Amino acid sequence: MKIGVVGKGGVGKTTISALLARALTERGRRVLAVDTDSNPNLGLSLGLDYGATEALPTVPRSIVVGSRGDLTVAELMADYGTQTPSGVTVMSALRVNEAAAGCTCGGHATVRSLLGEALETETDDTIIDMEAGIEHLSRSGGTLAHADVLVLVMEPSLKAVITARRTIVLADELGIAAWIGVGNKVSENQQDLLARLCAQNDVPLDVVIPASNEVAQADREGVPLPSTRAASVWTAVNSLTNHLLQPAQT
């Protein structure tokens, strides 16, 4: 599967991407997690320390992946993929290292090229941790045009749900036919609010990940959430994993 994790800024896309990648890996699947944030931190959530995360090689903007490009998928994985302690391979597609360096359009084109290839030779699942907002769906060709499914991450707020609704419209125009709505950081007294907002805006709410002090603490410290902590969060993440794997199993 090629999975795009999308949503408004601050809803927890990187945390969900890392937890999902780990859950898929624990089921014996080969997972590539691609960080498309210009300020990449996904490596931290997958068990790399700060130095190793900063040292992740960024895929050059000029590279076109595939038989007619600069590298095959296998070569790209070998040169730019880094194995993390969690068993997930992480790759950095975008990084801003200097002021006035120009737009990141080339990096987005690289991600689109990568997703268009037959990644099954090297991975079972590719998770794209997208930058905040919906611009990646409006770019020429659409960064996520080759994604199989989008994970719409929402916190319990109207702004987050509206972003998800706008994402669905653009995804449909790109021909992405599947999406899963995920509520994140949802306290017990906010569940009804989020469900109502989603229903009013025709946005699916398939999985609700509860608010957790342990997740927040791990995020503040820049470390992965231990598999022995926050059981209710892992239960919800496994439910999301089941939703994603179900089409592949039918």
pLDDT of residue 116: 56
Strand residues in the chain grouped as ranges (E): 2-6, 31-35, 82-83, 89-92, 125-129, 149-154, 179-186, 207-210
Cβ pair 209, 184 in contact under 8 A: yes
Owner of token pair 């949802």: 186
pLDDT of residue 30: 95
CATH number for 2-249: choose from 3.30.40.230, 2.40.50.140, 3.20.20.70, 3.40.50.300: 3.40.50.300
Give the residue extent of every domain in the chain: 2-249
Most confident of 32-36, 137-141, 241-245: 241-245
**Strand-pair partners of 90:** 33, 82
pLDDT tens for each residue of 121-149: 788 999 999 877 555 554 444 456 678 89
**pTM to 2 decimal places:** 0.86
pLDDT tens for each residue of 143-181: 566 788 999 999 999 999 999 999 999 888 888 889 999
Within 10 Å of residue 226's Cβ, how many Cβ atoms? Answer: 10
pLDDT of residue 74: 82
- Percent of the chain whose predicted confidence (pLDDT) is above 70: 78
DSSP assignment string, 84-114: -TTS-EEEE-----STT---SHHHHHHHHHH
* Among 28, 21, 29, residue whose Cα is nearest residue 86: 21
Q: Quick one: average pLDDT of 30-52?
A: 90
Q: Quick one: average pLDDT of 8-33?
A: 95
* Per-residue tokens: 118: 């037959």
pLDDT of residue 182: 98
